[in-house]
Copies of this chain bind each other. A is one copy, B any other.
Amino acid sequence: MQSAILNHISKDIHLTKEEQEEFLSILSEKKLGKKELLIKPGDSVTSEYYVVSGCLKAYYLDENGHKHIIQFAVEDWWISDFEAFFNNAPAQLYLETIEESVLLEIQKDALEVLYQRIPKFERFFRLKITGAFVSLRSRILSSLQMNSKQRYLEFCNSYPNIEKRVPNYHIANYLGIQPESLSRIRKEL
């Protein structure tokens, strides 16, 4: 389990044994069952989470009671309400498991200390943010230039490990279409 996150990190930065130990010392494990809430609106968001195993969704509930999934997360991914995390603001999103999940939690305070002690982690987490930025930009560009069918196919190609594990109506929701529309699209394939 700890080897998962060390492998993940070693793709971007090289750590000494001591640095690894120090990093691991600030992680705490969290086991969640299916459909369990990790964060809800109004919560103080003091952590971000690395997914060791399982699958989660981050969604927003609008004033009409409609859910809008804005992010999935599976193994090797990070999840939080990042806006709240970055800005020391209360959460706006629900974070909920789709499957039983095991997460590693990093507290923001501990992270700031880590940055001081091992500056390489500035780089690592900056790469995570820029990667997230790139992903969101790509998503916006896709929605500007593609129809729903093309976007569904792109989703399946880009995220097969999500597509096979989450219900289709979740995917429809993430794409901003109704499940009925997704059924029609899939019928044409």
Partner-B contacts on A (CB < 8 A): 60, 62, 66, 68, 70, 82-83, 86-87, 119, 122, 126, 129-130, 132-134, 136-137, 139-141, 143-145, 176
The oligomer's copy count stands at 2
CA distance A70 to B62 in the complex (A): 25
- Of the candidates B83, B122, B130, the one whose C-beta lies within 8 Å of that of A86 is B130
Q: Does the CB pair B137–A83 fall under 8 Å?
A: yes
Q: Does the CB pair B82–A133 fall under 8 Å?
A: yes
CA distance A119 to B134 in the complex (A): 24
Contacts of A86 in B (CB 8 A): 130, 133-134
Contacts of A70 in B (CB 8 A): 137, 140-141, 144
Q: Does the CB pair B133–A87 fall under 8 Å?
A: no
CA distance A139 to B143 in the complex (A): 11
Closest chain B residue to A173, Cβ basis: B144
Shortest distance between the CB of A66 and any CB in chain B (Å):
7
Contacts of A82 in B (CB 8 A): 130, 133-134, 137
Contacts of A132 in B (CB 8 A): 133
Shortest distance between the CB of A152 and any CB in chain B (Å):
15
Q: Does the CB pair B126–A136 fall under 8 Å?
A: no
- Of the candidates B119, B129, B139, B176, the one whose C-beta lies within 8 Å of that of A129 is B129
Contacts of A60 in B (CB 8 A): 141, 144-145
Shortest distance between the CB of A74 and any CB in chain B (Å):
19
Contacts of A139 in B (CB 8 A): 140
Known: A87-B134, A122-B126, A129-B130. 17 other contacts (CB 8 A): A60-B141, A60-B144, A82-B133, A82-B137, A83-B137, A86-B130, A122-B122, A126-B126, A126-B129, A129-B133, A133-B136, A136-B137, A136-B140, A139-B140, A143-B143, A143-B176, A144-B176
